[in-house]
Each structure stands twice: as C-alpha cells, then as structure tokens.
Amino acid sequence: MKYISPLVSPVFGRSGPRSLAILGSTGSIGTSALRVVAKNPDALRVVALAGARNVELLASQAGMFRPRYLAVLTEEGARELRGLLPVGYAPEILVGRDGYAALATLPEADLVLAAQVGAAGLVPALAAARAGKVLCLANKEALVLAGELFRRTCAESGAVILPVDSEHNALFQAFAGHDGRQAVRLILTASGGPFRTWPAEKIRTVTPAQALKHPNWSMGAKISIDSATMMNKGLEIIEAVHLYGADLDEVDVVVHPQSIVHSLVEYADGSQLAHLGVPDMEIPIGYCLGYPERLNIGLERLDLAKVGTLTFEGPDPERFPCLRLAREALAAGSPVVLNAANEVAVQAFLDGRISFPGIARLIEEMLSMHALTCVQDLDDILSLDAQTRTRAAEALGRGEW
C-alpha cells in the first residue's frame, strides 16, 4: 500500500481557542459538532455557521454561539433569518454557493468543518482546501467526486484534511504511530442497515419510512438511505482509496451489526488494529476538532461486558448490489456518475417515485450509459454531474423502477 497520510502538512499547535466555521450546521454532523463545541468552550470558538434551508434552527444556533458570519442558500432565507435573530445581534449573512465558499475561506477560521450532504458540499470544501485550511471533512462525496483534485490542491496550498467519517477517522487513528507503508489492507465496518437479515423478496417492498430507521446511528435522510442500500460503504471505499493511497483491492468491507468496531488497519505481520467506541459521531468530530489532543466530550463509556458479543459477517452482493456498483465505478473512472445517479435515485425513492431496489437499477443504468471521458478539473466534474442528473431524471420518466 502506498500510504498517503490525510495530513499533507503539520497541524498547528494550540494557543488559545481554535476558531471554527461549520458548513452544514443544521444537519446531523453540524448539530453534533456544536454539542462538542458547547462542551469545550475553552478549546473551540464558532466564527461562522452555514445552514441551508433550516432557518429556524440556524437562528437558534446563531443566538447561542453568536458567530460573526452566517450563510443560507437563498435571499428569502436570509430575510427570514434576520427576523429571527436576537435583538442587538447583527452578523453578516451571506447567500448561496458563493456565500458558503466565502465562509470556507475566512482568514479568521482555523478549522473548517465540511458537513454538507452530497455533491453540494464539493465546491465549498474545495475552496477551503485551496485556502490552505485545516479541513475536517465529513462530506465523503467531495472525495468521491474529486479525490485526485483534492490531493493536488492540498499539496499546493498546504491544506490539511482530517477525516470525520467514523470509518475513516477510525483508520486514521489506527495508523497513528505506525508506518502506513506496512499496511496491507483497510477493513471498513458496516452495520448492515435495517434490512441486513431481510430476504430479497421482502426488500422489494421496503418503504421510505422503514429505510430511514437505522438500527444504531442517528443520521439525516440521505445518509440513512445510503446505509440501507450499503451505498454509503461503496462511497467510503472510494474515499479510502483517495485518503490513504490504497488500491481498490486493498479495501474490504465487513458487516458488524453492533457498530462498536469502526474499522481496522491490517499490517504486513498480520496484526489488525481496530478503533472501538460507542456509535456516536461526537467521537470522530471531537477527535478532528481537537487534534492532536483529545477533547472530553462527556459520552457514556463503552462497556464491552455490557455489549457482550461482537459479530462479523460478509456483505451480501446479491441483496445489496451498490457495493459492487461502487467498485465498478471507481475501476472504470466514473465515480462522478455513480454519485450523481445515487443522489437522484435516493431522492426519487424518498418521494415515492421508485422502489428500493430501483435505486441500484437506476445507478447501474446510468453507469452503463456513461462513455469514458477525461475528468480533470472542477468544471469537468460539475459538467458530468449535471449531465448525469439530467439523464437520470429522464430515465425516471420513461418507466417503472
């Protein structure tokens, strides 16, 4: 394995509180991050929050943490937000994708937490990397779409990527203090989602309400559906390849229903180093925000005796074909198509327009239609993303899925 640390330059030492900009503060990662900040006021200070369309929650967060900058997606949202803020508090409010990118490059922000969901998080995260920021990356799609571009950008700007995803954060911790070049395999753990034991015929009848009920984690709608299809693990395979310099065949997935082991690194001598913890995103978030120190986030301690049993099994590629599709997409150089098709398919499922198995069928259809093209820069990526979404929408209108 040609190990590449996510840290492409040294992380600064602490001198006073670190200032933090959160892109996607109203989502599950963003709200968890603010809980970590609230527990560590001497270590962390919020300077900017971006909250998309949940203006009421963003106003509540802003009133509590009083950042100097806020961002929303629309002018209408900005007007509503101004009316909800406490009297006497007048932050600067930015709007749209440019507003998000501006927050990502604020000179006063030591850390940028990229917590948006999906391809929408690519441009702001890349802006932070170009600005040489310490980028706490929770948006796996950014690396799925533009992994090589991020690596080039970080090398040029001196930016640092710290992985927030629980699996990649676990790998990062398992690499600490070891020669990563001696790693031979990365093992990503998966809960298996809510349908791990369901037979194929029953999976055909899955409803959105059932798919949103994850057995272990509290997540947003899109990520919950990705967990149910196991596409989240497919995207994480691609993310691991870009973060750690692994070859595709050096990344494996094992189903671990208890969600206590959060991934493992196997070394040349046969040793496997695992990261264990309760299934709560405050742990990897806190690790990134405090790195290289560990913050006290006050969670219930893991009690292995109480857990009792940890079990592992291989994933079933027949019932969960998205894992296979992700590997095929990376091998064929078409992860942009994979991600765009998945986002369209997941939303269509949530809207009741396609069946649960139809998610994988639509993705496979889009991958089969894709002609190999050279995708090198941001414009190429955004163009292919838009083309795929158009094709997927057209396909949805043509028949039953």
Which DSSP string corresponds to 209-269? Answer: HHHT--SS----HHHHHHHHHTHHHHHHHHHHHHHH---GGGEEEEE-TT--EEEEEEETT
Any idea where the domains of the chain sit in the sequence? 18-164, 170-280+301-395
CA 354/CA 346 separation, integer angstroms = 9
Which CATH code of 1.10.10.10, 1.10.1740.10, 3.40.50.300, 3.40.50.2300 fits the domain covering 170-280+301-395? 1.10.1740.10
| 401 residues of the chain, pLDDT tens digit each | 878 777 655 566 656 899 999 999 999 999 999 999 999 999 999 999 999 889 999 999 999 999 999 999 999 999 999 999 999 999 999 999 999 999 999 999 999 999 998 888 999 999 999 999 999 999 999 999 999 999 999 999 999 999 999 999 999 999 999 999 999 999 999 999 999 999 999 999 999 999 998 777 667 889 899 999 999 999 999 999 999 999 999 999 999 999 999 999 999 999 999 999 999 999 999 999 999 999 989 999 999 999 999 999 999 999 999 999 999 999 999 999 999 999 999 999 999 999 999 999 999 999 999 876 667 799 999 999 999 999 999 999 887 77
* Ramachandran category for residue 261: left, alpha or beta (phi over 0 → left; psi -120 to 50 → alpha): beta
- Omega before 292 within 30 of 0, i.e. cis: yes
For residue 56, report the phi and psi dihedrals to the nearest 5 degrees.
Answer: -60, -45
Q: Are 256 and 338 in contact (CB under 8 A)?
A: no
Could you tell me which residues come within 8 angstroms of residue 15 by beta carbon, excluding any fewer than 6 positions away?
A: none
Contact criterion met (CB below 8 Å) for 98 and 77: no
Which of 122, 85, 120, 104 lies closest to 47, judged by CA? 104
CA–CA dist 135, 114 (Å, integer): 7
Q: For the segment 265-288, what is each residue's pLDDT rounded down to a tens digit?
A: 999 999 999 999 999 999 999 999
Supply φ then ψ for residue 65, to 5 degrees: -105, -15
282 touches 300 (CB < 8 A)? no
Count of Cβ atoms closer than 10 Å to residue 170 Cβ: 28
* pTM for the full predicted model: 0.93
Three-class SS string for 166-213? HHHHHHHHHHCCCCHHHEEEEEEEECCCCCCCCCHHHHCCCCHHHHCC
Q: Which fold has domain 18-164?
A: Rossmann fold (3.40.50)
Instruction: Kindly state the DSSP code that residue 336 receives in the 8-state scheme.
Output: H
